[in-house]
Amino acid sequence: MGPNQVTRGTSCFLYWAMALVFSLSLGVNANLNYDYYKSSCPKVESIIYQEISKAYYKDNTVAPGILRLIFHDCFVRGCDASILLAGPNTERAAVQNIGLHGFEAIDAAKAAVEKACPGVVSCADILAYASRDTVKLTRGMGWKVPAGRKDGKVSLASDPPQNLPPATFTSAQLVSNFAAKGLSAKQMVDLSGSHTIGVTHCVQLRDRIFTVIDKTMPKSLLADLQKKCPTQATPTALVIDRYSVNKFDTAYFSNIASGYGLMTSDQDLYRDSKTRPYVVANLKQSTFDKNFANAMVAMTNIGVKLSLHEGEIRKRCQFVN
C-alpha cells in the first residue's frame, strides 16, 4: 500500500470515527441513520409532515398528544411503536395511557407513506418523525431524526405501570426513573419542557391540593386549581403552560422558576438544587431548543429494534402483520 493509500485510508477511518463519536455524543444509536430512507422512500419526511400538519390544523391538541405518545412508547419496551397497537390488553388499555391522543394522525401518516412506499417505513420511525414535526408546527426548532427502527410485536397493559413515572414523583425519583432508561438528569429536565404545550388533569394534583395542601403553592394558583378541580375525579383538562399553550417556548420553565408549576413532577425540578440549574439554563429559548432536540434524539434511541429478527415493519400501526 502506497503512502497516498495510507493517507486516504487513515482519513476515511478518522472521518468515520469522528462521525461515530459525534453521533454517540447526541445519544444516537450507531446503527440508526439520518438518511435511512434516502433511496427507499426519499419523500417520507415531507409526506409525514403534510399529514401531521393537516391533523394539527384541524385539532391543535394533536401536537402535545403525539409528544406524549412517543414518551409513553419509548419508556415501555423501547421506541418500537408498541403504544400504537390496539387491543383490550395492550399498553393503550393501561390506566396510565387513558386519554392518549394522536393515534388517528399517526395512522393517516402511515397510510400516506404506505401509498408512496409500501412496506418500507416502520410505524416507530413515523412516530419519531411526527414528534419532531409537532414541535416545528408549534413554532419550536426541529432536528434531524435518525431512522431505521423496526416495530415491536408485543404490547401489554401490565408494562406501563412498571415504567412510566407518575405526576407525583419528586425530582430525585424522576432522575432515577430516567437513569434506568439511560437518560441523564439534564435530559430529564430538558424533556420535561414538552409540557409547554401539554395539559394535565385534576387527579394528577392529588398530592398538592387534595390529600395534603402544598403550602409552597402560591395562594392564587391554589384557589384557581381548587375552583377548577372540586374533586380528583373532575375531568377538567388543565393547561400546564397557562400563557402560551400552543407555542413551544420557555414559559413552562418560567412558570416553575416562579413557583407556578402545577404537578409535583414539574415544580420539584426547581425546588431540587441538583436539577434547578438545568431549569435555569432552559429559560433561554436558543438553549432550550438545542437541549430539547438533543434529548429527543437520545430518548428516541431507547431500546430500538434494528432487525426483522427483533421486529417488523407493520402494514398498519394498530395491528401486527
Q: Is 72 a catalytic residue?
A: yes
Q: Which three cell numbers stand for residue 201?
A: 388533569
203 is in an annotated binding site: no
Condensed to tens digits (0 to 9), the pLDDT of residues 289-312 reads: 999 999 999 999 999 999 999 999
266 is in an annotated binding site: no
Using the predicted structure, report yes or no on whether residue 68 has a pLDDT greater than 80: yes
Residues above pLDDT 90, as percent of the chain: 86
Are 169 and 96 contacting, i.e. CB atoms less than 8 angstroms apart?
Answer: no
User: Which of 71-80, 184-193, 231-240 is the least confident region?
Assistant: 231-240
Max Cα–Cα distance, the chain, nearest Å: 80
**Domain 171-298 falls under CATH 1.10.420.10:** yes
Cα 162 off chain centre by: 18
245 is in an annotated binding site: no
Dihedral sign, Cα of residue 44, residue 152, residue 93, residue 97: negative
Cell 393501561 belongs to residue: 94
Determine which one of 72, 101, 201, 309 is catalytic. 72
91 is in an annotated binding site: yes
Which residue ranges does the chain devote to CATH 1.10.420.10?
A: 171-298
Architecture of domain 44-164: Orthogonal Bundle (1.10)
What pLDDT is recorded for position 29?
58
What pLDDT is recorded for position 212?
85
Alpha helices in 117-211 (DSSP H): 123-137, 160-163, 171-179, 185-192
Q: Which three cell numbers stand for residue 179?
A: 437513569
Which residue ranges does the chain devote to CATH 1.10.520.10?
A: 44-164
Spatial separation of the C-alpha atoms in residues 256 and 143, rounded to whole Å:
26
What pLDDT is recorded for position 40?
98
What pLDDT is recorded for position 211?
80
The pTM of the full predicted model, rounded to 2 decimals, is: 0.89
